[in-house]
Structure formats: structure tokens, C-alpha cells
Amino acid sequence: MFDHISVGIRDLEVSIAFYDAALASLGCQRAFRFPKGAAYGPSGRPVFWLHYQPEAAVQAVQGNHLAFQANSRTHVDAFYRTALAAGGKDDGPPGPRPHYHPNYYAAFVIDPDGHRLEAVCHSPG
């Protein structure tokens, strides 16, 4: 349904360092950087965009929930560890979430701007 999505950030350098690390664990890399933002995606296709915004604008969007697809449960685990090491905050460790469906495996972190991030794998085992 979505072609791409963007989120507001307060500190470009902090956010780029965080997302460079966290998204690499899911096989995504920075596609490019521009003066007030950056874009990420698989194979260099920009699907997730960061845009510097004034403090008030970022606070208005805090609390977004963004779920990134992981190819395996190992990738979910790596995303969680990497995101925490890069400055994210724990919002739910890796594990099954059977209340969504039997194979739902996810981890949750909060990024430096307060956006709730999830890495999720829908495959068994």
C-alpha cells in the first residue's frame, strides 16, 4: 500500500547514526543524504525518509509506530541489540506475540525522537 514514509527528527547526526546501525541489521542501508535529512531502503531504494523539523513539529509526531519487516527471527534479535547499542530505548524485547498470530515474532524500541519502532518476522522458527 505505501510507497514510502517519512518521519520528523530533531538531530540529523544522531538520527543518521541510529538508523545507519539499526536498519543495517535488517538489510537496509542509507540510500542518500541531503542537507536536512536522509533516506533508507533495501538495495538503495529509498522507502524510509528522515526529515529535520523544528522541535514543535517533531513533538507533534512523536509516538508513531513504524514496523520494519525482518527476514528472520535472527534479524529481529539483531535489530533489537543494534538499536539499543545505537541509543534506542527498550520498548519490548524480541519474542513471540501470539495474540497477533501464531508466527508473529517482534521486538520494539524507541528511537532518539520518540518514534516507536518494531522489527517483525511472520515466519515460523
Q: What per-residue confidence (pLDDT) applies to 58?
A: 62
Cβ contact 70:76 at 8 Å: yes
Q: Supply angle C-alpha 61, 22, 12, rounded to 5.
A: 50
Q: What per-residue confidence (pLDDT) applies to 109?
A: 97
Residue 64: CATH number of its domain: 3.10.180.10
Q: What per-residue confidence (pLDDT) applies to 53?
A: 86
Beta-bridge partners for 30 = 40
Amino acid, res. 5:
I
H or E element that contains 30: strand 29-34
**What total number of domains does the chain contain?**
1
Q: What per-residue confidence (pLDDT) applies to 2?
A: 81
Q: What per-residue confidence (pLDDT) applies to 60?
A: 59
Q: What per-residue confidence (pLDDT) applies to 82?
A: 98
Distance (Å, rounded) from C-alpha 69 to C-alpha 118?
Answer: 8
Distance (Å, rounded) from C-alpha 31 to C-alpha 79?
Answer: 19
- 23's grid cell: 536498519
For the chain, 125 residues long, give each residue's pLDDT as a single digit of tens: 788 999 989 899 999 999 999 999 999 999 999 999 999 999 889 999 999 987 755 665 666 889 999 999 999 999 999 999 999 999 999 999 999 999 999 999 999 988 999 999 999 97
The range of the structural domain enclosing residue 34 comes to 5-121
